[in-house]
């Protein structure tokens, strides 16, 4: 019988002892050097159920300055530090394949090969240990890391400075080359001083938007020293004012970001629906195909999610455009002049495409990796940071929009499309091949949907239902903006996004959405052709 | 003078005859034939058929506005669901103190969400007459307000379709909210009795099946009399050329509004009969997808032919029952393919096909009721 | 039309039975021992299409696997077990219809099925009317105890309350965000938690933030930023998440991007399993928590055997197991044991026999069926690792019995459930000393009949 070394109940203590004995037995006969003895003992201390004891063990490892200490800590942080059940040997997991794990020896770093995961015990950590490990690693980095790492380490110190750290930190501040890091360290020390009741510290802290600073100032307002209370209150009022502005900026950014998603999803529809008069209910599925293309590209280029994402932009466009052409040729061309019936037929196509993805790929969501350069956020100040993935999507939406405007205004295709839209028969008699224009327009609209899918893969689930979640919103945006008007779509998308995000904090997400929908319904009653109605004959079409 | 006598029409007579025979046949086969006999109709099947009949009534309601008025409503599921909720609220109140917590007034979901009193819009639903009136009034009122706003400002064609979709979508989101007091996602369920009849007995289910048949027949006659009348002619004229009809001096929006409200009420009745048969009403009936599906039934059966709508609803739902049982994966392929096939190859639906065959046999000129062109202007 | 309608029924049933036979044959193809008697029929009522198919299909496969195993081990009472699979297509009314089909047409002896609360509520009247047996495998909001339903998933006291205890005692959380999808499970759980936090830990109103979002919510910017502001007031803050399904991926992604680290504001989720984490890059989520009664990473032989069998059954190396699968494993084995004990598959006999039945669970302990039709379960807290699995960081010292009626809700505080004779009541009010609701009436009728 295998003896589980891990178990929570106290009554199995003897088992742990047995485990220890077995490990000791396995360990003693080996000819080991002193260094390894120490290492083994240090790691041995980690193998305990109590997270408090583990915490002590980590401190011991940090203080031991063992040459492999950093490897261990990193492995522990990544949950790769494991132990063979039978021999008690500590190993570091390198790769997991199915039920087997490739490991190396934790002491020496020599490769061991594949081991069944049944034979491994993982040394688990919890959040407390994780932050202990991180701050240990980051404290080291404060002295010899890159500037960003140093800045981050200094930020972590705000509100967390202990008495014995004051002196080394003051020294460090004097040596620190970067002004930004120095500023942070200064603030960190000031918070410490403020907690000790030093009024002058408030001056250093005023204007800071850091939440720990705010907490410290708030605490200072409860102080017994009236001077401190006064200073802290003034500083806080100042900060509150500043925060309000930042919060407004943040809401605006949220709105623009949501708007950019709406614009991206709707702009392809604005072309097929607005220009061609085709109600393409399969538009959402064309978006979905773009997202799946991104996933497929990442599967083709493992390890290079960024490159795959960039390549997915043309690929997603092509895939959706081709499917769009197939839809146009296969179905829509037979339904000329019957827009409401295109709605039904394309709805059928959307069901087929969804089920196709479920059957061929999987009903489960697919993992699309966000490349390093797109994750995280751009820190404007302590109270305002703009998430990078959304910023890229916002930029991408604007680029796509500008590209479409250019195509419609300044290319022959755009000219022909406009001609066919305005008067099909006249355009044909002028020698424009209307059928070709139809195909090209539909391909363009569908391709743009594919682009939207590439972008959305970075924000939401990539699954068979992706398209359905956006189709209704897309129609609302196009109708609200005015069918056949690209600028209308941009303005509509952005304003709906902003309205939604402004309403959300006080109305809640659901109510905000309902209010927006009711608003659109009422707006259409007032202006049946949207914000920017099409003028002239085409409007009667 | 605006309404005709529909019973004089041959198609109506045939339809009513077939419906009556079918309902009686099912009843007899259910009651008189012993279980196990190949001709026996089980309680399960009776329930299934009852559900189909309510769907058929819903399809007739949609066909009335789409086929004869040219309004493609993508929100009729909302009227159906509201009728269903009105019935559901009555059934909830009928539970009385037999609920889990034994509260004589509050339904269970309100008790455990800590509501201390009944919201005002639940008042009166303990009385059958009030609830049944609301089955007609609530969807009718919504249609009246919505239609008045839309038709007055001449929102037509695609725009109208999209905003009907927005309406049902907004209602779905609203009914999903637990604060609304309609049971949120769980909806209303665990019904006990309707007008004193135990909903868990086979006899009540048979009664509901027959009631659904009667409702369908009545609904059909109402629609037929509208369609066959002068009012119906104006509707068809509006569908085919709204501007011209307007120029001829007809207040088009009034006709549209009237028919739209009647259609919504019929949908409400369908919903009210649907709920006790399936035993639950929840916001998923508001799903825009469901509303689009109803339109497919009509398209498949044959737009602008009321019996076509009935055929379409029964056919598609029967197919759904069979397919989701046999090959669940293939169902969406089949449904999707059906959409494409019908719109491209069968623009007149099954009814059109039947009419075509009949004309061929009789070799007589057609009585064109089907739309000449899409009304989008 | 007439002919059509008339033909419907025989045809329906024929088509159905062929289909079900095929399905059943596929389910038991590995095994074809001729049995004298008819097979025992087990109904499987899980959505195989529609939105819930993602979660429910694996449960259908699980029951099929368990049936296969049981048949290989010689069947039950000397008879083969046959799976009858139907697809309610994530459509709630269809659940009731299919349940009726299973019980009335197919005459199954037991049903394993349902995932969502609403589908269970839809099926409940049918199962009670036709006196069927339903094993429901998913954690749920409680506030229900039916004579015909066995709840093998967790009740609120087997999941949420131990989880907040852990956060409060071990992590020192003082400020709470209760975020959920707007449906009955989060609503009830959050109500219970709110009452519990105030009562037990004296948490003030301003230290609790409650937020509801719709299904499939994808724009989390505002809410996450609100959470981050709420958490930066100097008190340790945690998010208790009852966010359901698809909405989780964008939620966690936004958390990661806005830089909310598990070390600062941990999120403990009640509806996120390892399978929900497919479709998400887990590296920013490391350290966030989930509370379940089973994790795939549980270190026990029973679990490894189950995983091996599951991998073999699905033929996929990276197939994952989850908590509701374990619930079906327990439920199925309990039913088998109860049938053996009763010597028959008769519903009333099995219902009586199953109370007290104890079977092994997958975490090395055992689960017992309580008189209130809930089972005993250990509660575990897992932290997300960068491989998408959960490492168990805490576990209740012993198993916890499921409580149908929460002690922290005013309406249900006084209710208890006991389906043994003589009480036989799912909602007995101990203050008024009577059985509430419908069962009271039925009991009276029964008493009269006797």
| Each residue's pLDDT tens digit, B12-51 | 888 888 888 888 888 888 888 777 777 787 888 888 899 9
Most confident range, picked from A111-115, A187-191, C60-64: C60-64
Asked if A537 is an interface residue toward chain B (Cβ–Cβ < 8 A), one would say no
* Residue B30 pLDDT: 81
Smallest Cα distance from B376 to chain A, Å: 8
Gap between the Cα atoms of A233 and A230, Å rounded? 5
Contact criterion met (CB < 8 Å) for A461 and C279: yes
ipTM greater than 0.90: no
Give pLDDT tens digits for B43-74: 888 888 999 999 999 999 999 998 888 888 89
pLDDT for the residue numbered A35: 56
Nearest 5°: the CA angle C376, C377, C382 is 170
pLDDT tens for A151-160 read 877 877 777 7
Query: What is the phi/psi pair of residue A145, to 5°?
Result: -90, 180
Helix residue spans in B180-279 (DSSP H): 202-228, 230-240, 242-247, 252-278
Beta carbons of A433 and A246 less than 8 angstroms apart: no
DSSP summary character for residue C38: P
pLDDT in tens, C412-449: 788 888 888 777 888 788 887 778 765 555 555 555 55
Residues in chain C: 450
C-alpha distances in Å from residue A330, one per residue of A55, A289, A335: 66, 18, 10
Judge whether A366 and A456 are in contact, CB under 8 Å: no
Pairing label, strands B188-189, B280-281: antiparallel
**pLDDT tops 80 at residue B175:** yes
Q: Is the pLDDT of residue A374 over 90?
A: no
CATH 3.50.50.100 fits C160-292, yes or no: no
CB A531 within 8 A of CB A481: yes
Q: What is the DSSP string of C147-163?
A: TTEEE-S--GGGTHHHH
Report the range of poorest mean pLDDT among A90-99, A103-112, C170-179.
Answer: A90-99
Residues 446-505 of A with CB under 8 A from B: 468, 472, 475-476, 479, 483
Nearest chain C Cα distance for residue B90, angstroms = 17
CB under 8 Å, gap of 24 or more: what pairs does A6-13 form? A6/A49, A6/A121, A6/C299, A7/A49, A8/A49, A8/C394, A8/C395, A8/C397, A9/C397, A9/C398
Supply the pLDDT for residue B186.
85
Q: What distance in Å separates the CA atoms of residue A520 and residue A506, rounded to the nearest whole number? A: 20
What CATH number belongs to C22-154+301-377? 3.40.50.2300
- From chain A, pick out residues whose CB is under 8 angstroms from the CB of B344: 331, 334-335, 345
Asked if C107 has any chain B CB less than 8 Å from its own CB, the reply is no
CA distance B16 to chain A (A): 30
| B-chain residues near C129 (CB < 8 A) | 200
Rounded to an integer, the average pLDDT of A304-308 is 88
CB contact under 8 Å between C89 and B331, yes or no, is yes
* Range(s) within chain C of domains with CATH label 3.40.50.2300: 22-154+301-377, 160-292
Arithmetic mean of pLDDT, A296-305: 87
How many other C-beta atoms lie within 10 A of the C-beta of residue C144? 25
Minimum mean pLDDT range among A12-16, A260-264, A467-471: A12-16
**Which residue's structure tokens are 């702009």?**
A267
Q: Chain C partners of A122 at a C-beta cutoff of 8 Å?
A: 391
The whole-angstrom distance between C342's CA and the closest CA on chain B is 29
- Give the pLDDT of residue B1: 41
Length of chain A: 541
Smallest CA–CA distance, residue A208 to chain B, in Å, is 40
Which residue in C51, C222, C383 is closest to A505 by CB distance?
Answer: C222
**Higher pLDDT among residues A318 and B354, named by residue:** A318
pLDDT at A136 over 90: no
How far is Cα of residue A32 from the mean position of the Cα atoms in its chain? 47
Task: Give C 276-295 residues with CB within 8 A of chain A.
Answer: 278-281, 284, 286-287
B97 CB neighbours in chain C (<8 A) are: 437
Tell me, what's the pLDDT at C446? Answer: 55
Q: Is the peptide bond before B148 cis (omega within 30 degrees of 0)?
A: no
- Among C244, C276, C267, C289, smallest CA distance to C140 is for C244
CB of B243 within 8 Å of a chain A CB? The answer is no
Distance CA C331, CA C353 (A): 14
Give the model confidence (pLDDT) of B243-260 as tens digits: 788 888 788 888 888 999
Mean residue pLDDT of chain B comes to 83
Full-model pTM? 0.84
- The low-confidence residues of chain C, meaning pLDDT below 70, are 1-37, 273-281, 437-450
Q: What local confidence, expressed as pLDDT, does residue A372 receive?
A: 81
């Amino acid at each position: 019988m295998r003896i589980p070394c891990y178990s929570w109940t106290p009554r199995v203590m003897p088992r742990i002892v047995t485990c220890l004995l077995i490990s000791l037995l396995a360990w003693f006969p080996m000819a080991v050097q002193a260094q390894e003895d120490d290492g083994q003992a240090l790691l041995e201390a980690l193998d305990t159920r109590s997270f408090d004891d583990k915490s002590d063990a980590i401190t011991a490892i940090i203080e031991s300055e063992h040459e492999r200490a950093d490897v261990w800590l990193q492995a522990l942080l990544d949950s790769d530090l494991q132990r063979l059940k039978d021999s008690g040997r500590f190993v570091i997991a390198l790769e997991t394949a199915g039920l087997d794990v490739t490991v190396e020896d934790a002491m020496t770093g020599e490769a061991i090969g594949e081991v069944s995961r049944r034979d491994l015990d993982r040394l688990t950590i919890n959040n407390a240990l994780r932050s202990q490990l991180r701050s240990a690693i980051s404290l080291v980095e404060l002295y010899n890391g890159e500037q960003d790492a140093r800045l981050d380490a200094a930020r972590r110190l705000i509100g967390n400075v202990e008495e014995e750290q004051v002196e080394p930190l003051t020294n460090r501040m004097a040596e620190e080359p970067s002004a930004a890091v120095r500023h942070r360290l200064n603030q960190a020390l000031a918070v410490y001083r403020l907690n000790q009741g030093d009024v002058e510290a408030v001056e250093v802290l005023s204007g800071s938007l850091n939440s720990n600073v705010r907490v410290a100032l708030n605490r200072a307002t409860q102080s017994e020293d009236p001077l401190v209370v006064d200073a802290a209150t003034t500083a806080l009022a100042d900060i509150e004012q500043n925060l309000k502005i930042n919060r407004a900026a943040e809401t605006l950014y949220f709105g623009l970001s949501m708007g950019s998603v709406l614009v991206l999803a709707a702009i392809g529809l604005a072309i097929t629906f607005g220009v061609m008069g085709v109600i393409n209910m399969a538009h959402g599925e064309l978006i979905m195909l773009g997202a799946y293309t991104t996933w497929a590209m990442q599967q083709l280029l493992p390890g290079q999610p960024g490159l795959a994402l960039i390549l997915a932009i043309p690929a997603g466009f092509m895939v959706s455009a081709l499917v769009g052409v197939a839809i146009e040729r296969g179905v829509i061309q037979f339904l000329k002049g019957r827009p409401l019936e295109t709605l039904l037929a394309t709805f059928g196509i959307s069901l087929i495409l969804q089920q196709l993805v479920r059957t061929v790929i999987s009903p489960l969501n697919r993992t699309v990796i966000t490349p390093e350069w797109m994750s995280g956020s751009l820190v404007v100040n302590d109270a305002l940071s703009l998430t990078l993935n959304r910023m890229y999507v916002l930029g991408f939406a604007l680029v796509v929009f500008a590209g479409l405007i250019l195509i419609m205004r300044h290319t022959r295709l755009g000219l022909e499309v406009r001609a066919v839209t305005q008067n099909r028969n006249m355009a044909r008699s002028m020698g424009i091949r209307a059928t070709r224009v139809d195909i090209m327009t539909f391909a363009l609209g569908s391709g743009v949907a594919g682009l939207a899918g590439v972008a959305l893969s970075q924000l939401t689930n990539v699954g068979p239902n992706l398209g359905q979640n956006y189709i209704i919103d897309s129609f609302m945006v196009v109708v609200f903006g005015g069918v056949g008007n690209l600028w209308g779509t941009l303005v509509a998308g952005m304003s709906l996004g902003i309205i939604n995000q402004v309403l959300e904090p006080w109305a809640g997400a659901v109510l905000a959405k309902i209010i927006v929908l009711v608003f659109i319904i009422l707006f259409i009653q007032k202006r049946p052709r949207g914000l920017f109605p099409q003028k002239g004959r085409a409007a009667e079409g | 003078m605006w309404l005709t006598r529909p019973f004089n029409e041959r198609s109506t007579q045939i339809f009513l005859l077939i419906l009556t025979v079918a309902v009686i046949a099912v009843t007899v086969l259910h009651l008189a034939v012993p279980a196990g006999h190949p001709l026996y109709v089980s309680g399960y099947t009776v329930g299934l058929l009852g559900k189909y009949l309510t769907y058929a009534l819903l399809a007739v309601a949609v066909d009335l506005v789409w086929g004869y008025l040219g309004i493609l409503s993508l929100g009729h599921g909302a009227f159906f669901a509201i009728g269903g909720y009105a019935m559901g609220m009555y059934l909830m109140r009928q539970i009385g103190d037999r609920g889990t917590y034994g509260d004589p007034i509050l339904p269970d979901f309100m008790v455990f969400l800590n509501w201390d009193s009944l919201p005002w819009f639940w008042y009166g639903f303990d009385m059958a007459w009030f609830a049944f009136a609301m089955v007609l009034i609530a969807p009718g009122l919504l249609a009246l307000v919505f239609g008045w706003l839309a038709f007055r400002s001449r929102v037509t064609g695609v725009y109208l379709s999209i905003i009907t979709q927005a309406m049902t979508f907004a209602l779905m989101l609203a009914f999903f909210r637990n604060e609304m007091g309609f049971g949120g996602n769980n909806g209303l369920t665990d019904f006990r009795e309707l007008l004193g009849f135990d909903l868990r007995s086979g006899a009540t289910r048979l009664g509901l099946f027959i009631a659904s048949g009667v409702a369908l027949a009545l609904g059909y006659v109402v629609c037929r009399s509208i369609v066959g009348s002068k009012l119906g002619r104006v509707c068809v004229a509006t569908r085919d050329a709204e501007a011209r009809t307007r120029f001829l001096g007809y207040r088009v929006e009034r006709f549209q509004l009237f028919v739209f409200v009647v259609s919504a009420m019929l949908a409400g009745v369908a919903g009210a009969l649907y709920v006790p048969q399936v035993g639950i009403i929840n916001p998923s009936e508001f799903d825009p997808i469901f509303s689009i599906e109803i339109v497919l039934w009509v398209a498949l059966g044959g737009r602008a032919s009321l019996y076509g709508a009935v055929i379409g609803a029964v056919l598609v739902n029967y197919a759904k029952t069979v397919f989701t049982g046999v090959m669940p994966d293939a169902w969406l392929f089949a449904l999707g393919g059906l959409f494409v096939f019908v719109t491209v190859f069968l623009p007149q639906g099954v009814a059109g096909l039947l009419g075509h065959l009949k004309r061929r046999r009789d070799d007589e000129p057609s009585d064109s009721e089907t739309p000449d062109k899409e009304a989008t202007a | 039309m007439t002919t059509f309608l008339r033909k419907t029924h025989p045809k329906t049933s024929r088509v159905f039975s062929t289909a079900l036979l095929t399905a059943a044959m596929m389910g038991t193809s590995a095994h074809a021992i001729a049995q004298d008697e008819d097979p025992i029929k087990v109904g499987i009522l899980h959505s195989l299409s529609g939105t819930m198919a993602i979660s429910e299909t694996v449960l259908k496969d699980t029951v099929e696997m368990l049936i296969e195993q049981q048949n290989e081990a010689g069947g039950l009472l000397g008879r083969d077990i046959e799976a009858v699979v139907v697809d309610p297509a994530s459509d709630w009314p269809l659940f009731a219809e299919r349940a009726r089909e299973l019980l009335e047409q197919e005459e199954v002896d037991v049903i394993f099925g349902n995932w969502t609360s609403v589908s269970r509520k839809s099926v409940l009247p049918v199962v009670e009317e036709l006196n069927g047996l339903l094993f429901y495998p998913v954690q749920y909001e409680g506030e229900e105890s039916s004579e015909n339903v066995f709840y093998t998933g967790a009740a609120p006291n087997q999941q949420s309350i131990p989880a907040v205890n852990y956060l409060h005692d071990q992590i020192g959380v003082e400020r709470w965000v209760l975020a959920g999808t707007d449906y009955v499970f989060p609503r009830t759980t959050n109500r219970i938690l709110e009452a519990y936090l105030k009562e037990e830990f004296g948490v003030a109103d301003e230290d609790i933030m409650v937020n509801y979002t719709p299904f499939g919510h994808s724009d989390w910017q505002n809410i996450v930023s609100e959470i981050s502001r709420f958490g930066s007031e100097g008190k340790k803050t945690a998010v208790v998440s009852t966010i359901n399904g698809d909405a989780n991926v964008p939620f966690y992604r936004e958390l990661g991007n806005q830089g909310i680290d598990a070390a600062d504001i941990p999120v403990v989720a009640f509806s996120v399993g390892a399978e929900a984490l497919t479709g998400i890059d887990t590296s920013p989520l490391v350290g966030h928590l989930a509370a379940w009664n089973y994790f795939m990473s549980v270190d026990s032989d029973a679990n490894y055997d189950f995983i091996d069998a599951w991998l073999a059954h699905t033929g996929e190396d990276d197939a994952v197991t989850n908590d509701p699968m374990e619930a079906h494993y327990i439920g199925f084995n309990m039913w088998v044991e109860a049938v053996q004990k009763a010597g028959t598959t008769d519903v009333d006999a099995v219902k009586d026999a199953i109370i007290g039945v104890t079977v092994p669970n997958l975490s090395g302990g055992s689960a017992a069926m309580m008189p209130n039709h809930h089972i005993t379960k250990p509660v575990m807290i897992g932290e997300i690792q960068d491989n998408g699995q959960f490492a168990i960081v805490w576990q209740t010292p012993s198993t916890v019995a499921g409580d149908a009626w929460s002690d922290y809700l005013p309406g249900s505080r006084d209710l208890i459930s006991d389906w043994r004779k003589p009480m036989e009541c799912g909602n007995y009010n101990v203050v008024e000393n009577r059985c509430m609701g419908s069962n009271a009436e039925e009991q009276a009728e029964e008493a009269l009949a006797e």
